[in-house]
Amino acid sequence: MKELTIVSGKGGAGKTSVAASFAALARDKAIADCDVDAADLHLVMEPAIKHREPFSGGSKAEINLEKCSSCGLCRTLCRFDAIDEDYKIDDFACEGCGVCTDNCPEKAALLIPRHAGELFVSNTRNGPMVHARLIPGEENSGKLVSLVRSRAREIAENEKLGLVLIDGSPGIGCPVIASVTGVSLLLIVTEPTLSGLHDLDRIASLAAHFGIPSAVCVNKFDINIEMTNSIEEYCAGKKLPVVGRIPYDTLVTKAQIAGVSVVEYSGGAAALEVSRVWKKTNYMLETC
């Protein structure tokens, strides 16, 4: 079984649009939306949820003011400034480390597990899909990403599907690391802007750091052809295969409004090229 993750470093480069198209083009796959704090793939997949499970992210401290003697030890020990003068916990500052609970002489501090989100297993017209929703402002998105990935792998194994198709999140931090470590191939979607190139370098360096094979495609390449050329030069220098140049096409947004992927919505320049990108990516997947 292979795993393909679509990432970009920079947000808004077109990861989810490409992932939705791949979901329509690939055969025998499970789909995983690993962008758990701004998940969008479900908007073009019409998932029928058949199973849900709660996700508990971490814990937050709570102080029982009836037991508290106001000795101040917890405030001295807490490194996150999470306890105010009235011994109230600031939930956004508390990391759930338990230093206050372990060291309170009155045992007035407790760690309370948090409900941080929900995971869904769904059926879609393009196969089974695992997705999730992290409650806005919650922590531990990496842990939820790992859970989504492992559920999708289980489904692929049980149903003898050859591929797990993963839509990643922007950036290079914890949720991205959780969605890329150990996968067969990364497809990096970038855009022909200086920011796109800069963030491509960040994510390509992350892939190299973990030794993950990667390919690149340039989305909206015709916004700035000079920049597209610079990106392809950068890729040549790093021995990163470029598997396509997707043109800017208003049909992509129209497909999104219609709730489908661009390859299901119409023909058109972008749909045609995305299909080509899939063929090349699939070939790389088969050989890696």
Partner 1 sequence: MKEEIRQTTTIAVASGKGGTGKTTVAVNLALTFSRAGKKTLLLDCDVEAPNAHIFLGTEGMESSRVTVRVPVVDESKCDGCGACGKACRFSAIVSLGGKALTFPSLCHACGGCVIACPNKAISEGEREIGAAFRGMFHGVDFAYGKLRIGEAMSPPLIRVVKKFKSDAELAIVDSPPGTSCPVVQSVRGSDYVALVTEPTPFGLHDLKLAVEMIREIGIPFGCIVNRAEAGDRLAHDFCLENDIPVIGAIPDDRRAAEAYSRGIPLIDALPDFKLLFEELGGKLIETAEACARKEVRR
User: Using alpha carbons only, how large is the chain's radius of gyration in Å?
Assistant: 22
Q: What is the dihedral of CA 131, 50, 156, 126, to 10 degrees?
A: -80
102 binds partner 1 (CB under 8 A): yes
164 burial type by CB count under 10 A (0-12 exposed, 13-18 middle, 19+ buried) = buried
Query: Segment near partner 1 (CB under 8 A), from 48-56, 90-98, 150-158, 267-275?
Result: 90-98
Tell me the closest approach of the beta carbon of residue 36 to partner 1, in angstroms: 8
Q: Which is nearer to partner 1, 66 or 226 (CB)?
A: 226
Q: Mark residues 104-143: x for contact with partner 1 by CB under 8 A, - for none.
A: -------x----------------------x-xxxx-xx-
Q: Which is nearer to partner 1, 39 or 263 (CB)?
A: 39
The angle at the Cα of 166, spanning 162 to 172, to the nearest 5 degrees, equals: 140
267 burial type by CB count under 10 A (0-12 exposed, 13-18 middle, 19+ buried) = exposed
**Burial readout 39-65 (b: 16 or more C-beta within 10 A, e: otherwise):** bbbbebbebeeeeeeebebbbbbbbee
192 binds partner 1 (CB under 8 A): yes
275 binds partner 1 (CB under 8 A): no
Contact residues toward partner 1 (CB under 8 A) are 8-13, 16, 37-38, 40, 43-44, 58-59, 77, 79-80, 92, 95-99, 102-103, 111, 134, 136-139, 141-142, 169-177, 191-196, 198-199, 202, 205-206, 209-210, 223-224, 227, 253, 256-257, 259
